[in-house]
Amino acid sequence: MMKEMYPKNGKVILHVDMNSFYASVEMAYDSNLKGKPLAIAGNVEERRGIIVTCSYEARKFGVKTTMPLWEARKLCPQLVVMKPNFERYRAVSLAMFEILRHYTDLVEPVSIDEGYLDITESFEFGSPMEIAESIQKRIHEQLDIPCSIGIAPNKFLAKTASDMKKPMGITVLRKRDIPKVLWPLNTNDMHGVGKKTAEKLETIGIHTIGDLAKGNEIQLKTLLGINGIRLKERANGMDYRPVDPESIEEFKSIGNSTTLPKDVGNQLELFRVLESLAETVSVRLNRKKVLASTLGITIRYKDRKTITRSKKLSNPISHKEDLSSFAKQLFLKSWNGDPIRLLGITGTDLVDQTRAYKQLDLFSYEKDAKKEPLLNTISSLREKFGKSIIENAGSHKMDGSQNIGTGTSFNKDFLRAFPNKNKDPD
């Protein structure tokens, strides 16, 4: 009987999104923080920090993510500020995904605090609404964390639905609801459309999601590349991406190596090669919008003996200067002085560039603090003109395509700790 509540041909996808995750985890660990305006900041000293996330109580005062800490304190003098505890967030995230796997093997983590579930064959646990209510209840009771859930026939609509009611909301969004619910909204209210893209769309007369749904494909492709076609499909509620538990392995490593035209034993010459390799790897990392948490080098000597060495970094990197510096340090520790025929640099343990937050240490604190005014200025410019107003040169994709979707705070390296085995239903 319950199976009849599921579509015969289509799918039922849930998007589960933790509400104000870092702040909620801290409140779960310390009940004294509940009900208070709480912010998590990369550097808790006044005027030097940036808000990573904040509680809904803090948001009522106008505090928001990426805001400088001094400004947040001005808006909310009673703001409680804490440093991020990534190990704590990681542990809660793992527990949250274990709960999700109770209902289906098809769970796709997309960040530390959100994921998709394909529950098309999960009718034994009840109707889609009953499953969503059960998930929300279990996460709240077992972890003391609020979450919002979207129920829809595909990932795009599920993600859109989960954003509609926060915190602790459950929203059903069907394709037949799109003309009434989505089409009247401005394009920048659509998941996957930033302010800059919305401004571009306005130049061809597209102001609402409905306009985009009916847009001319040739115009859209000329303006935005393949992403223009993809956005039109989304505006019409079309999204054929499957829920893929293995998608976290999309980018395992990014690197580059070169075979030298002759055997080289001169250190300065080898350093120049490493600098060139670092520049290429930096461009590729930025193009994929990821950072490397581990850096490796490959050395092949003239007798073809090859060695690889790697180092786990305290902070993820993507800038060519950082890559070059660490590669040289690793090289000097590994090189035996013999002439070299091949050199390579590889970045692994990749983390999403837009969601990775740097944990400052005693060595980098002073340098990062000096960068803070620049970061604040960049943040303001992006707020005013769109996220892509200032980017590294290497971040521009050569094929004109763009990734659809942004998310909340996330380190992709945490996903690599997920066991491949799936938990059997209790």
DSSP, residue by residue, 77-131: TT-EEE---HHHHHHHHHHHHHHHTTT-S-EEEEETTEEEEE-TT-GGG--HHHH
What pLDDT score does 242 carry?
A: 94
Domain spanning 2-20+87-173: CATH 3.30.420.10: no
Distance CA 24, CA 49 (A): 20
All residues at 6 or more sequence positions from 206 whose CB lies less than 8 Å from its CB, including other chains: 187, 212, 215
Which runs of consecutive H residues, i.e. helices, occur in 203-259?
A: 209-213, 217-224, 226-235
Distance CA 122, CA 119 (A): 5
What pLDDT score does 194 carry?
A: 87
* pLDDT tens sequence across 286-327: 887 788 888 999 999 988 888 888 888 878 888 999 999 999
What pLDDT score does 388 carry?
A: 47
Q: Where are the domains of the chain?
A: 2-20+87-173, 177-235, 251-359
Rounded to two decimals, the pTM is 0.62
Q: Which residues are catalytic?
A: 114
What pLDDT score does 270 carry?
A: 96
What pLDDT score does 54 carry?
A: 95
**Measured CA angle at 288 (ends 283, 294), to 5 deg:** 80
What pLDDT score does 287 carry?
A: 81
All residues at 6 or more sequence positions from 374 whose CB lies less than 8 Å from its CB, including other chains: none
Question: Architecture of 177-235 per CATH?
Answer: Orthogonal Bundle (1.10)
Distance CA 227, CA 247 (A): 20
Enter the CATH code of domain 251-359: 3.30.1490.100
What pLDDT score does 180 carry?
A: 97
Distance CA 372, CA 383 (A): 16
What pLDDT score does 383 carry?
A: 53
What pLDDT score does 382 carry?
A: 53
**Measured CA angle at 419 (ends 417, 420), to 5 deg:** 130
What pLDDT score does 86 carry?
A: 83
What pLDDT score does 291 carry?
A: 87
Residues of the chain with pLDDT under 70: 1, 43-48, 247-252, 353-426
What pLDDT score does 392 carry?
A: 43
